[in-house]
């Protein structure tokens, strides 16, 4: 199955990372671009599309083109569910950006739509492909860390006023679905749960300390109680003085894994070694990392081999559940998974 034909829906900030990854790492062709702002769809079509790449303002019109095989959803959070469900119903393979959705109901509808379709449905959680994350997963799964006792994550970034003022969806409950947790911290939350395992309950609090012009939280703290007994602590904010490197530590009875941005320092007994990303971030912001292209190439390989993509909607619901449970918690224990 050569030259898969691809469309991108939502031609804003992150879409260029997808466009580059499609062009540089797959033999797919970008044949359609969609944005409600016509000039954006046109600019993306001209800059990244093949000759004849068609710009649209209505994704439902694009879905009528039977030659399009794969749809990338890079639109605001509240649109992921309807766009993914419509694209699967139209017989397209779909790769959507994180978060999976903004509510449990949406997530469940998306899982059902994926089960009904015979097409692939993947969710971008690209940091699982970082070398540091892969090494951490291997060490833990091989049992080298022993029993996992605890984990701590610190996400201390900075989002200035313009970040929210220049967007008609960021900073809102109905369109972004939350703030620092659902947008920025979800990557680290996902890594923590992927590395450690199933969760029993979550307890946390959110607040808005520094961004009075938005509805959602700019700070959150939580305790994540894993079924294997490990205790995960989380602190996330986007009112620090700069985008500091994210820290995730996993503590086991035999040692520690300390991930700082995309570098892991691993200590098992007396042995210490580091694993570091060798690729530079070529497209997009440095804190998005360099693994979008790796996950996108992997997704296209799966499409070609008719093999389900391993980060599907059920996988992606795990981190969404943690985020939604912290929103719900107000200091009370919330059992997971959310139903």
Smallest distance, ligand NAD to C-beta of residue 148, A = 26
Q: Which of 12, 150, 197, 337 binds ligand NAD (CB under 6 A)?
A: 12
315 binds ligand NAD (CB under 6 A): no
What gap in Å lies between CA 324 and CA 319, rounded to an integer? 9
Smallest distance, ligand NAD to C-beta of residue 37, A = 5
| CB 71, CB 80: distance < 8 Å | no
Measured from the CB atom, the residue of 119 and 292 that comes closer to ligand NAD is 292
Stretch that binds ligand NAD, among 31-39, 106-114, 257-265, 266-274 (CB under 6 A): 31-39
Residue the block writes with tokens 């691993």: 266
Phi, psi for residue 179 in degrees, rounded to 5: -120, -115
Smallest distance, ligand NAD to C-beta of residue 267, A = 28
Measured from the CB atom, the residue of 124 and 264 that comes closer to ligand NAD is 124
Smallest distance, ligand NAD to C-beta of residue 333, A = 28
Q: Which of 4, 7, 8, 11 binds ligand NAD (CB under 6 A)?
A: 11
Measured from the CB atom, the residue of 28 and 75 that comes closer to ligand NAD is 75
Q: Which of residues 87-116 bind ligand NAD (CB under 6 A)?
A: 97-98
181 binds ligand NAD (CB under 6 A): no
Measured from the CB atom, the residue of 244 and 268 that comes closer to ligand NAD is 244
Phi, psi for residue 50 in degrees, rounded to 5: -75, 170
167 binds ligand NAD (CB under 6 A): yes
Coarse DSSP helix, strand, coil percentages of the chain, rounded to the nearest 5 percent: 35, 25, 40
Q: Which two tokens stand for residue 8?
A: 């991108």
Using CB atoms within 10 A of its CB, is residue 213 exposed (0-12), middle (13-18) or buried (19+)? exposed
Smallest distance, ligand NAD to C-beta of residue 117, A = 21
Q: Which residue is nearest to ligand NAD (CB)?
A: 12
By residue count, the chain amounts to 339
Helix axes 313-329, 186-196, angle to 10 degrees: 110
Measured from the CB atom, the residue of 169 and 201 that comes closer to ligand NAD is 169
What gap in Å lies between CA 68 and CA 48, rounded to an integer? 16
Taking the alpha carbons of 254, 256, 262, 263 in that order, is the dihedral positive or negative?
negative
3-state secondary structure of 203: strand
What beta strand segments (E) does 188-279 contain? 199-207, 219-226, 231-237, 247-252, 255-260, 263-268, 271-276
Measured from the CB atom, the residue of 5 and 80 that comes closer to ligand NAD is 80
| CB 228, CB 197: distance < 8 Å | yes
Stretch that binds ligand NAD, among 6-14, 42-50, 211-219, 311-319 (CB under 6 A): 6-14
Smallest distance, ligand NAD to C-beta of residue 75, A = 4
* Contact string (CB under 6 A) for ligand NAD, positions 56-85, x = contact: ---x--------------xxxx-x------
Smallest distance, ligand NAD to C-beta of residue 34, A = 5
Q: Which of 1, 37, 272, 306 binds ligand NAD (CB under 6 A)?
A: 37
Q: Which of residues 257-276 bind ligand NAD (CB under 6 A)?
A: none
| Neighbour tally for 257: CB within 10 Å | 27
Total site size for ligand NAD, rule CB under 6 A: 25
CA angle centred on 104, ends 177 and 169, rounded to 5°: 15
DSSP annotation of 242 reads S
Q: Which of 183, 190, 217, 218 binds ligand NAD (CB under 6 A)?
A: 183
What gap in Å lies between CA 57 and CA 14, rounded to an integer? 18
Pairing of strands 263-268, 231-237: unpaired
The residues of the shown chain that bind ligand NAD, judged by CB under 6 A, are 9-15, 34-37, 40, 59, 74-77, 79, 97-98, 124, 126, 167, 183, 288
């Amino acid at each position: 199955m050569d030259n898969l034909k691809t469309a991108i829906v939502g031609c804003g900030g992150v879409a260029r990372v997808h466009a580059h990854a499609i062009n540089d790492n797959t033999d797919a062709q970008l044949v359609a671009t969609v944005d409600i702002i016509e000039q954006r769809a046109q600019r993306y079509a001209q800059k990244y599309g093949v000759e004849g790449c068609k710009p649209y303002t209505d994704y439902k019109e694009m879905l009528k083109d039977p030659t399009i095989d794969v749809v990338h959803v890079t639109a605001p959070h509240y649109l992921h569910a309807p766009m993914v469900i419509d694209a699967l119903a139209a017989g397209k393979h779909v790769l959507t950006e994180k978060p999976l959705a903004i509510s449990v109901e949406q997530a469940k509808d998306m899982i059902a739509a994926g089960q009904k379709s015979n097409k692939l449905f993947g969710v971008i959680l690209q940091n699982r492909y970082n070398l540091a994350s892969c090494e951490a997963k291997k060490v833990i799964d091989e049992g080298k860390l022993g029993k996992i006792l605890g984990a701590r994550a610190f996400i201390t970034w900075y989002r200035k006023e313009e970040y929210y003022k220049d967007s008609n969806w960021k900073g809102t409950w109905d369109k972004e679905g939350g703030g620092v947790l659902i947008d920025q911290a979800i990557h680290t939350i996902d890594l923590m749960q992927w590395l450690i395992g199933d969760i029993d309950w979550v307890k946390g609090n959110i607040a808005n300390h520094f961004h009075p012009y938005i509805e959602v939280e700019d700070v959150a703290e939580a305790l994540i109680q894993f079924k294997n007994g490990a205790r995960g602590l989380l602190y996330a904010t986007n009112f620090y003085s700069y985008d500091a490197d994210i820290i995730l530590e996993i503590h086991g009875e035999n040692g520690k894994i300390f991930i700082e941005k995309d570098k892991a320092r691993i200590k098992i007994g007396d042995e210490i070694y580091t694993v570091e990303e060798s690729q530079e971030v070529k497209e997009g912001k440095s804190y998005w990392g360099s693994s979008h292209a790796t996950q996108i190439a992997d997704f296209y390989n799966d499409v070609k081999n008719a093999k389900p993509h391993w980060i599907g909607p059920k996988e992606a619901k795990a981190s969404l559940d943690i985020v939604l449970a912290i929103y719900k918690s107000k200091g009370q224990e919330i059992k997971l998974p959310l139903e």
